[in-house]
Structure 1
């Protein structure tokens, strides 16, 4: 899917086509075909490798400079539903005339830039628009991390009452999402630091034009990303300790069950042993009395009771 927008001076967002493409436009490409990439590359004179960089879902965040274009590849947070979270590469290419975004799928980050929010951004202010996308990406990490915190609290409360396998699997799913977020946020931080250094390069001034408000926005992005990094580190440790704690509880419960079953086995074996003694083909007490069976049963019951009391005192029950 390929859509082209340009901000009007009056505020609204105008949708263009490839035939009516104008300078200062934003080209948003989602899951593109080879033909779309070729056409956009020819029209904008942007390196095709820049356009294809976000199509590898395992691509790490980085920046590249080629001729008159700067490519910033960042990883954005994605919610998959349930307890599943992921991070996807998003390529943002800034040239002298256009800003281009490429991603494998629609993301909540880019969906925030639409006709309803058109007054909050300008496609022709490419540097500021780039930083606004990065800022929105950082805020979505913070939003999803708070969701993960609430979900982990819910899972913890349910596990306290009943340790179901489904809840443990939910916990593992959240841990996997935090692992993706951790790697993405760290690599995004490296990109932001590099952008801060690149802004001072005279060679990039025509592309990434420097304005004071843009510098402030970039600093805000760095602060938000650092906060997200701290949160993901904290939640990762909490979930890891929670998983270890419940693993210990499960192991302890299993040991208690095994102790109980061992104690029951011992108690049940006593009557069998007593009846075996009285069943031997040798003279035994009470063999010539009518009450012999009753006496044997009482002996078995007495020994079993004494054994049960002894095991109970040793905390086997």
Structure 2
């Protein structure tokens, strides 16, 4: 899918048919024909279009002739086979050509929807560097937003686990931990790209652009710190709950073993008096009562000892 937008003199964003100077070309999951068309029309290297479509591509910045490619990871929410929420990251490419600014990704993202709907203050398609920095800032902001959602979901799962140890909450913890690992890795890779933009002259920047880039770096650093803190907390919680579950299993086994021993003693007494041999008091009319008292005494004494030792 190819969409072309351009800001007019009245600062309105319009959807246009042809690529012109100062336009923004948004490309999502393009076909081979669309890739060839863009590369031929704008004289782009083929890898500039295909690399951002590889979901394993790492963030980087690359320059070839007058074209610059920036690849960063952006977050998105999906669900796994068990319908558990998974926050993952995929690459998005930003390509600077002489006339146009291009965004390339495999999936639609609400981040770009904010630009399409004119929700970003001071957004102009002809200001390519400013546009890219605003997009980077929005990506970092979405990381922070999703991290807060992860923290909220972690707290909800923790409350559920306090009430009842169910596998669903444990699977939720695993899914959230996986998401935090994705976020931490992607944010650190994005930081490398941001540092290169700051230190090297890949893009032409004015003073306002440099200030915006510094804001992006701060926002990204904050997201990294939050992700690492949440990951540490979540890992600690999972270890704690694993210990609790193990302890509960041990207590259950201890209780069942104690009950088994207590119930075995009356059975042993009854078995002795059921043997076909001479036994004391076997002809006494109170023999059954004696054997019953012996069984109850042994079971009661053993139960008292186990209770004192806090076996149950």
TM beyond 0.5: yes
Report the counterpart of residue 56 of structure 1 in structure 2: 54
CA distance in 2, matches of 1:197, 1:15: 35
CA distance in 2, matches of 1:240, 1:115: 39
Deviation track 1:34-70 (CA, whole Å, cap 9, x = no partner) reads: 0001111111111111011111111111111111111
The answer as to whether partners of 2:19 and 2:100 remain within 8 angstroms in 1 is: no
1:13 aligns with 2:13: yes
The answer as to whether partners of 2:160 and 2:169 remain within 8 angstroms in 1 is: yes
1:241 aligns with 2:236: yes
How far residue 118 of structure 1 moved from its aligned partner, in angstroms, is 6.5
Report the counterpart of residue 191 of structure 1 in structure 2: 193
Report the counterpart of residue 44 of structure 2 in structure 1: 46
Which has the higher mean CA deviation after the structures are superposed, 171-180 or 112-121? 112-121
Which has the higher mean CA deviation after the structures are superposed, 86-95 or 271-280? 271-280
How far residue 119 of structure 1 moved from its aligned partner, in angstroms, is 5.5
How far residue 281 of structure 1 moved from its aligned partner, in angstroms, is 2.9
Quick one: structure 1 residues 314 and 147, their matched pair in 2 at CA, closer, same or farther if it must change by over 3 Å? same
CA distance in 1, matches of 2:207, 2:64: 25
How far residue 237 of structure 1 moved from its aligned partner, in angstroms, is 0.2
CA distance in 1, matches of 2:225, 2:185: 13
CA distance in 2, matches of 1:117, 1:266: 72
CA distance in 2, matches of 1:248, 1:118: 48
The answer as to whether partners of 1:56 and 1:89 remain within 8 angstroms in 2 is: yes
CA distance in 2, matches of 1:101, 1:244: 42
From 259, 262, 265, the equivalent of 2:260 is: 265
CA distance in 1, matches of 2:182, 2:102: 25
The answer as to whether partners of 2:133 and 2:213 remain within 8 angstroms in 1 is: yes
CA distance in 2, matches of 1:143, 1:74: 18
How far residue 276 of structure 1 moved from its aligned partner, in angstroms, is 1.8
From 272, 275, 281, the equivalent of 2:276 is: 281
Structure 1 stretches (4+) deviating beyond 6 angstroms? none
Report the counterpart of residue 97 of structure 1 in structure 2: 99
Q: Which structure 2 residue ranges, 5 or more long, are not aligned?
A: none
- TM superposition score normalised by structure 1: 0.95
Report the counterpart of residue 149 of structure 1 in structure 2: 151
Deviation track 1:197-254 (CA, whole Å, cap 9, x = no partner) reads: 123xxxx4xxx22211000000000000000000000000000000000000000000
CA distance in 2, matches of 1:121, 1:58: 30
Quick one: structure 1 residues 177 and 118, their matched pair in 2 at CA, closer, same or farther if it must change by over 3 Å? closer
CA distance in 2, matches of 1:44, 1:118: 27
Which has the higher mean CA deviation after the structures are superposed, 110-119 or 85-94? 110-119
The answer as to whether partners of 2:258 and 2:306 remain within 8 angstroms in 1 is: yes
Correspondences of 1:169-208 after superposition (within 5 Å): 169-199=171-201, 204=202, 208=203
CA RMSD of aligned residues (A): 1.2
How far residue 286 of structure 1 moved from its aligned partner, in angstroms, is 1.9
Quick one: structure 1 residues 119 and 223, their matched pair in 2 at CA, closer, same or farther if it must change by over 3 Å? closer
Quick one: structure 1 residues 257 and 129, their matched pair in 2 at CA, closer, same or farther if it must change by over 3 Å? same
Q: Which structure 1 residue ranges, 5 or more long, are not aligned?
A: none
Deviation track 1:164-220 (CA, whole Å, cap 9, x = no partner) reads: 000110111100111110110010001100111123xxxx4xxx2221100000000
Residue aligned with 1:160, SS: helix
Report the counterpart of residue 30 of structure 1 in structure 2: 28
